[in-house]
Amino acid sequence: MNYRIYPPEDLLEADVNVPLSKSISNRALIIHALAGNLDFTELPIPDCTDTMAMTEALRNVSDTINVGGAGTAMRFLTAYLAMQHGRSVTLDGDSRMRQRPISVLVNALRKCGATINYEGQEGFPPLRITGAKLSGGTLDIDASVSSQYISALLMVAPYMTDGLIINLSEDVNSLPYIDLTIDIMNRCGAEAERSGRTITVKPGTYRPTVFPSGGDWSAASYWYEIEALTSGFVTLHGLDIASRQGDRAVADIFAKLGVETSAGETPDIVELVASPELSPRLYHDFSDTPDIVQTVAVTCAMLGVPFQFTGLSTLRIKETDRMEALRRELAKVGVAIECTADTMTWNGRRLPITSMPEFDTYGDHRMAMSLAPVSIYIPGIVVRDIEVVEKSYPGFWMNLQAAGFTLTDADCNEPLPDTQP
């Protein structure tokens, strides 16, 4: 389905229940399964396709598991299944997943004693995994491709005979999410620590532990974008302002784009208001937070803020090639960005547009949610294939309606029901 989107007619005042963090939830699910507990009913997990893929896969007792487009599930399950002694499983995904590299993780697990074979193209899913008792030891790993490889190894490391020592390469991607993994592991009974680029995990076991997952800061980023473009008032419920999630950095980035963040009346409320602070040009290294690049890029494009972003190499192996997707879609609003392997630059000059933008989403939830607020500046834009948000934020469109946006079926221009989230 395709939505045509119009902005609120009055000053925006939005109260939003932010979805639970899938980053925390997916880690908690793996750790609970490793502890021998496949009853996830007590765990606070979001109702999105990414976590559904994980829970269904962990409970799947067949010899074939397909996680669709859930990249986190693919990586975490590769390590989890590699240590399930006596079990042999083919782990597969959708067509895009078969284009996303996984050799760094597979090679590391093989060095720990795992038996994993490629059933298609070398270095990519599907994988045939034969579970075994893993020995562990010391690994030197290229951490520039995906921090999820590191997190996958760390979570199974307590069950390795010798534990695990990982020496990370100099260029570490999404380091805050590696630290998040270590923190969750230790909360659940493991002994893990990072000192510089060396991580040590001692042999041991987990105990099933339930703790609040908190709201998802990646999901909150779209409301930062909306606040920056409307100068309205946004209250985010369920969000921990002191969260260890890497994308908590969105508050610091948007402080340079006219958004002030403050704690609300209770610890799980964050309030956003407009501020006069607007950088004339934004330079930022997104190595730690690649998932919010689209949000920030679209915001800058609408505000007319030239930018240069670095640390973007992993964007090309996400749900889509996000650098190329952004280049194509922002061109529809007259913004010609230049991309290299690791950088994205815009000089601030905008070309005239000759038609109403109709945005493609490339099967990527973050493309849809970052482009929807363009309607604030260009009422009536179309976002195609809106179902992609189910991956991480199923309630996004209802939240947008509740905030005063008008959504119509772009194919027949009929208004959608006035539903509340």
- Give me the active site residues, please: 291
The string of DSSP letters for 304-321 reads T--EEEE--GGGGGSSS-
DSSP, collapsed to helix, strand or coil, labels residue 408 as strand
Report the DSSP beta bridge partners of residue 274. Answer: 259
What is d(CA 197, CA 152) in angstroms, rounded to the nearest whole number? 17
Q: Are strands 269-278 and 282-285 parallel, antiparallel or unpaired?
A: unpaired
**Strand ranges of the sheet holding 64-66, from the earlier edge strand across to the other edge:** 64-66, 88-92, 127-130, 115-118
DSSP, collapsed to helix, strand or coil, labels residue 407 as strand
| Strand spans (E) along 126-268 | 127-130, 137-141, 164-168, 192-195, 198-201, 233-237, 257-263
Give me the residue label for tokens 């815009």: 346
Sequence length of the chain is: 421
The structure tokens listed for 197 are: 């680029």
- Which of 159, 245, 172, 173 lies closest to 201 in space, CA to CA? 159
Residue pair 329/371 in contact by the 8 Å Cβ criterion: yes
SS (H, E, C) 176-202: HHHHHHHHHHHHCCCCEEEECCEEEEC
Provide CB contacts within 8 A for 169, sequence distance 6+: 140, 141, 142, 143, 144, 197
Q: Is 316 exposed, middle or buried (0-12, 13-18, 19+ CB in 10 A)?
A: middle
DSSP, collapsed to helix, strand or coil, labels residue 56 as helix
